[in-house]
Structure 1
Amino acid sequence: MAKQPMLKFTKVEKEMPSKRSAGDRAQDFNEIYAEFADEKAAEQSSRCSQCGVPYCQSHCPLHNNIPDWLRLTATGRLEEAYEISQATNTFPEICGRICPQDRLCEGNCVIEQSGHGTVTIGSVEKYITDTAWEKGWVKPIAPAIERAESVAIIGAGPGGLAAADRLRRAGVQVTVYDRYDRGGGLLTYGIPGFKLEKDVVMRRIAQLEQGGVEFVLNCNVGEDLSFSAIRGKHDAVVIATGVYKTRDLQGPGSGADGIVRAIDYLTASNRVSFGDDVPEYDSGELNAKGKRVVVIGGGDTAMDCVRTAIRQGATSVKCLYRRDRANMPGSQREVQNAEEEGVEFVWLSAPKGFHGDAVEGVMVQQMRLGAPDASGRQSPEVIEGADYVEDADLVIKALGFEPEDLPTLWGEDALEVTRWGTVKADFRTHETSLPGVYAVGDIVRGASLVVWAIRDGREAADAVLEQLSTADMVAAE
């Protein structure tokens, strides 16, 4: 009888890839986790219980076939594991690095719920695809046939790139328009290298370019090129702009020098990592070196900011969040990494105002959690008379993002938006109020996860292909 390769969670302990020491990793922007060795990846994969109803899969937005590729990894069939992994996910090596697995697949793992510690799904996913690149298993994009139809994608973030990949593989001519000088969107300029090294993103963009996807960069739609011109040039359009408008701070002194947006701060840091000339960094405006830094917010962007400030050589880094640790939206794994690196979290605190023309301090209100709000989360309430001042030379606003007013920016009043300013789109086809125009990712969902944007991009591409095929059939009649 063949030896059972799986169900070893009772004998084999959960083990993450080794993590560089906090002191070591705070000196650079390299990824903090090492790669699994072959034997360790197989061993950790063998802990999977091969559930009849795999909650890891059902809680993954892409419904990745996780138990199947864990079993194949455990038995040394890595190339097959990669084929199954990439069948449902355009960028598995990116999701393996930056998905909040503790809230998705790993957090819903059956053996995690039974107290044995989750299967380290994200680390294995990263390992499988990194190995596939190394071994040459990642094949170039080579459509079996070329089609005459062309599709425009506005935005080169994860949703746009996922749509571009799927459309190009079907032979459609694809042009991606983006405001930045490199593709990738927040993958390139918003997420620090210690979570996602940039060569991982650039490798995928190079694959798309080599496969025939055209990138039109440094292109602000509505300024450099009109939306109507793009619609006129292409058979369909996919809007994948993301959300970049920062939620603002209120209160006295909120316009002081030294109070900056998280997206500007992170973009400057990532540009420096690319070797770009960044005057705002060199001047100290977007550089935390030698400064007392306060980051306001509790999401993943705030975690990226505090950990970046540590690496830039800040004197101190504090994160203010108005709720407690249990109610923060960011990844608990990221909070732990930040604490290890020297970040101090000031829970149940919110800014009331700011001191100094060039910021010198944050007036902090202490909070407590009251009754639940409409979402069921406890609402923070101010504790009267408990205000104090937190010294600061640099304050970073990481309060989340809102959509830009696309109908006005693009001169397209017929593009319907919700009361939150997000684009209205069919939840199955992703088609908007404009025929032949689709929308995916954060511009529809609001600020959300990369994995949801990838799912949207893939689904929209399939809907576009169906529309183009229907048009072909009508034309042939």
Structure 2
Amino acid sequence: MATQKMLKFVTVGKEMPTKREAANRATDFHEIYREFASEKAAEQASRCSQCGVPYCQSHCPLHNNIPDWLRLTAEGRLQEAYEISQATNTFPEICGRICPQDRLCEGNCVIEQSGHGTVTIGAVEKYITDTAWEQGWVQPIKPHAERSESVGIIGAGPGGLAAADMLRRQGVQVTVYDRYDRAGGLLTYGIPGFKLEKPVVMQRIEQLEKAGVQFVMNCNVGVDISFDAIRGQHDAVLIATGVYKVRAIEAPGAGLSGIVKALDYLTASNRKSFGDDVAEFDNGTLDAKGKRVVVIGGGDTAMDCVRTAIRQGAVSVKCLYRRDKANMPGSMREVQNAEEEGVDFVWLSAPRGFTGNGAVDGVLVQKMRLGAPDASGRQSPEVIEGADYAEPAELVVQALGFEPEDLPTLWGVPDLGVTRWGTVKADFRSHATNLPGVYAAGDIVRGASLVVWAIRDGREAAEAILGYLAQPNAVAAE
């Protein structure tokens, strides 16, 4: 009986939730996709082929049981679908919104490979969990029994929050330390509202607070409290700081005002959405209104910046990327959304320098071509001599990626093992570092990556920490 509701990909075409019109959505920071209606979500879920080897599941970092919750959705058993989804993913409503499904589950869907168009997995995942919140199916976190052991988590981003959730469910006492005034990390301050509206994040943080997770905000480890003090207060510590050091451009004129870092720019915009006073936005430094904007970079952060600039009322927005569209690391779905909203992509282009008298007024652009492949197999960009030109700009946003901060120096912990890239060395299964009782997870270990990988790492680290706490000789670090 159940299978009659499935395998409809032959007769039912792929259909995403409708997007708001580009001209309309480019004027605000609300999410761009409308909600699935119940019937439409069930219809799209019914396209799943229920294949014997679900590549969607194996290509999901969390190995979500996607075929099962698609079948339950098609059958109208939404609460059960939510329970299956929640079993492997701490924040399915967030992943449903911001995961690059085109590179993960949907990109590896069997019916997509056969030419029928992928199942809209992300949109259904979002629908299931949004419905669960509306219907009250998302239960408070209530441990069966309280435990005396405590864990300190440094970083309130997706990895730290996922670990806090799992540890608290087991009754462990959890304290999360974070340098910002709100928890969530990049979910709160790095990702724009048009991809992830902030109440979606805040409701999860509220759930953790009600469960007894202690948040110590505005806390800069190494300044406000030492790493050793945190180790001394807890039986185990998880480092989940993420990577925040920006890769800066080194070129003539790079110190001119008006050349800003992507994270500073996005954080200012997100703070305004909370109603905060942001001096650098209010005085125009981090506001694109009325300016010609150039964003340098080709990843998802660059896409966030160009689309934010459009919404702030920029005169024009151009994105410089040194490779072509096919070699761009960002999501193609995001590139399409940006193009619809009026962003001009200038492929095979890179900055050679900047012009201006105190304040930037232009970018010196050098044209590139793709040469021989580099070590990763991607073609390396080469400069085309004599093809330089000047691109006018009053605001330049650097979105070239992030690197780890020097934690051993910043925290006064020279013994903490790091790689030659500056990331923390941790066992790839247990996430244990070389320091007893100290674990690390997320971008600070793997480098700048996806939210879904941070969630997986946080969950795995929590399991390893529970095992460590269960050892008879597990005591608070001295």
- Per the shorter chain, which TM-score range? over 0.9
> How far apart in 2 are the matches of 1:474 and 1:445?
28
1:150 aligns with 2:150: yes
* Counterpart position of 1:430: 431
> How far apart in 1 are the matches of 2:98 and 2:471?
37
> How far apart in 2 are the matches of 1:346 and 1:473?
56
* Counterpart position of 2:242: 242
Task: Check the 8 A contact 2:468/2:474 in 1, yes or no.
Answer: no
Aligned to 1:35, the other structure's residue is in SS state: coil
Which residue identity does 1:66 align to in structure 2?
A: I
Aligned to 2:414, the other structure's residue is in SS state: coil
Which residue identity does 1:465 align to in structure 2?
A: L
> How far apart in 1 are the matches of 2:292 and 2:135?
46
> How far apart in 2 are the matches of 1:294 and 1:274?
26
Equivalent residues in 2 for 1:13-28, closer than 5 Å? 13-28=13-28
Q: 1:251: how far off? A: 1.1
Aligned to 1:429, the other structure's residue is in SS state: coil
Which residue identity does 1:215 align to in structure 2?
A: F
Which residue identity does 1:368 align to in structure 2?
A: R
Identity %: 82
> How far apart in 2 are the matches of 1:251 and 1:190?
26
Q: 1:471: how far off? A: 2.8
Equivalent residues in 2 for 1:73-472, closer than 5 Å? 73-356=73-356, 357-471=358-472
Q: 1:250: how far off? A: 1.1
> How far apart in 1 are the matches of 2:278 and 2:448?
27
Q: Which digits, 9 at most, give the CA deviation of each residue in 1:186-207, with x for residues without a partner?
A: 0000000000000000000000
> How far apart in 1 are the matches of 2:389 and 2:429?
50
> How far apart in 1 are the matches of 2:472 and 2:6?
49
Which residue identity does 2:369 align to in structure 1?
A: R
1:57 aligns with 2:51: no
**Segments ≥4 residues shifted beyond 2 Å:** 471-475
Which residue identity does 1:55 align to in structure 2?
A: Y
Aligned to 2:470, the other structure's residue is in SS state: helix
Where do 5+ consecutive residues of structure 1 fail to align?
Answer: none
**Cα distance, 1:192–1:355 mapped onto 2, change above 3 Å:** same
Q: 1:473: how far off? A: 8.9
Aligned to 1:67, the other structure's residue is in SS state: helix
Which residue identity does 2:231 align to in structure 1?
A: R
Which residue identity does 1:395 align to in structure 2?
A: V
Which residue identity does 2:141 align to in structure 1?
A: I
Q: 1:23: how far off? A: 0.6
Q: Which digits, 9 at most, give the CA deviation of each residue in 1:292-320, with x for residues without a partner?
A: 00000000000000000000000000000
> How far apart in 2 are the matches of 1:99 and 1:471?
40
Q: Which digits, 9 at most, give the CA deviation of each residue in 1:228-257, with x for residues without a partner?
A: 000000000000000000001011101100
Q: Which digits, 9 at most, give the CA deviation of each residue in 1:382-404, with x for residues without a partner?
A: 00110000100000000000000
**Cα distance, 1:75–1:226 mapped onto 2, change above 3 Å:** same
> How far apart in 1 are the matches of 2:22 and 2:138?
33
Task: Check the 8 A contact 2:99/2:451 in 1, yes or no.
Answer: yes
Which residue identity does 2:428 align to in structure 1?
A: F
Cα-Cα RMSD: 1.1
Aligned to 2:85, the other structure's residue is in SS state: helix
> How far apart in 2 are the matches of 1:19 and 1:235?
48
> How far apart in 2 are the matches of 1:380 and 1:2?
52
Which residue identity does 2:382 align to in structure 1?
A: E
Which residue identity does 2:468 align to in structure 1?
A: Q
Task: Check the 8 A contact 2:156/2:183 in 1, yes or no.
Answer: yes
Which residue identity does 2:362 align to in structure 1?
A: G
> How far apart in 1 are the matches of 2:244 and 2:91?
22
Where do 5+ consecutive residues of structure 2 fail to align?
Answer: none
Q: Which digits, 9 at most, give the CA deviation of each residue in 1:349-373, with x for residues without a partner?
A: 0000000120000000100000000
Aligned to 1:144, the other structure's residue is in SS state: coil
Aligned to 1:277, the other structure's residue is in SS state: coil
> How far apart in 2 are the matches of 1:446 and 1:430?
14
Q: TM-score, normalised by structure 1?
A: 0.99
Task: Check the 8 A contact 2:294/2:393 in 1, yes or no.
Answer: yes
* Counterpart position of 2:39: 39
Q: Which digits, 9 at most, give the CA deviation of each residue in 1:289-347, with x for residues without a partner?
A: 00000000000000000000000000000000000000000000000000000000000
Aligned to 1:129, the other structure's residue is in SS state: helix
Aligned to 1:272, the other structure's residue is in SS state: helix
> How far apart in 2 are the matches of 1:315 and 1:474?
60
Q: 1:53: how far off? A: 0.3
Q: TM-score, normalised by structure 2?
A: 0.98
Q: Which digits, 9 at most, give the CA deviation of each residue in 1:405-451, with x for residues without a partner?
A: 00000000010100000000000000001010000000000000000
**Cα distance, 1:168–1:369 mapped onto 2, change above 3 Å:** same
**Cα distance, 1:473–1:413 mapped onto 2, change above 3 Å:** closer
> How far apart in 2 are the matches of 1:113 and 1:288?
41
Q: 1:2: how far off? A: 6.8
> How far apart in 2 are the matches of 1:418 and 1:2?
51
Q: Which digits, 9 at most, give the CA deviation of each residue in 1:84-117, with x for residues without a partner?
A: 0000000000000000000000000010011100
> How far apart in 2 are the matches of 1:392 and 1:187?
29
> How far apart in 2 are the matches of 1:281 and 1:456?
35
Q: 1:3: how far off? A: 6.7
Q: 1:470: how far off? A: 1.4
Aligned to 1:42, the other structure's residue is in SS state: helix
> How far apart in 2 are the matches of 1:168 and 1:419?
34
Task: Check the 8 A contact 2:141/2:211 in 1, yes or no.
Answer: yes
Which residue identity does 1:322 align to in structure 2?
A: R
1:9 aligns with 2:9: yes
**Cα distance, 1:350–1:232 mapped onto 2, change above 3 Å:** same
Q: 1:269: how far off? A: 0.2
> How far apart in 2 are the matches of 1:162 and 1:220?
21
Aligned to 2:238, the other structure's residue is in SS state: strand
